[in-house]
Structure 1
Amino acid sequence: MSVPNYTRFLSDCFLQDRERQPALCEDDIYGVYVSWCLLNGQQPGPATSLWAAMDQRGYTKQHRDTGRHEWPGLSLKGPAAVDYILTSQPSLL
């Protein structure tokens, strides 16, 4: 398995629309990332590397009262998003 291409992952899996989309939490983003890696034959890297790649590409995070982070204005797209949603929400099947 190869090292993940974060730019391709972000392009394949997210749409940015700060005006219309609610925020996605770090658990959802990392879950989609793991699904994307598995579907693309890549080894997932640590969450800290993903957050750094998102910061470098201009994805702005906000700190929540719970100590977690969220990224406003992101929505999911693509096969990895579908895989993650169906895996994390089996009641949808």
Structure 2
Amino acid sequence: MATSHFAQFLYEATVPDPDTDCPLQPDCLYGLYVSWCLLHRLEPKSDDAFRAAMRRNGIDVHDSRLRMNGPAAADYILASYPSAA
């Protein structure tokens, strides 16, 4: 069975962190997804489609217990905080 691009996003751009007291919030998680899509030259799906896909992948976007990881994390941070560049 082919891996969905949402599952690939989770694998490449996030790291589970069950002990974190500061998990990615919904808007940040979606922003990270958009950065990941741009790096892979994919058209990001809507926020609603993203949230539904996260539920299908067992992720609660309000309590994700995920941290950013990889090139998409760097892209997202630089896009969100241009003064950090």
State TM-score, norm by structure 1. 0.79
User: Are 1:19 and 2:19 matched, yes or no?
Assistant: yes
> Runs of 5+ in structure 2 lacking a partner?
none
Task: Pick which of 78-87 and 19-28 moved more.
Answer: 19-28
The aligned counterpart of 1:30 is 30
Alpha-carbon distance in 2 for matches of 1:39, 1:27: 18
Structure 1 residues 91 and 76, CA, compared in 2 at 3 Å: closer, same or farther? same
When you count strand as a share of all residues, which structure comes out higher?
A: 1
Number of aligned residue pairs:
82
Moved over 6 A (4+): none
Alpha-carbon distance in 2 for matches of 1:9, 1:21: 22
* 1:29-48 paired onto structure 2 within 5 Å: 29-48=29-48
> Runs of 5+ in structure 1 lacking a partner?
62-69
**Root mean square deviation of aligned Cα:** 1.5
State TM-score, norm by structure 2. 0.85
The aligned counterpart of 1:65 is none
When you count helix as a share of all residues, which structure comes out higher?
A: 2
Cα deviations across residues 2-48 of structure 1 (Å, max 9, x unaligned)?
A: xx711101111111111135221111111111111111011111111
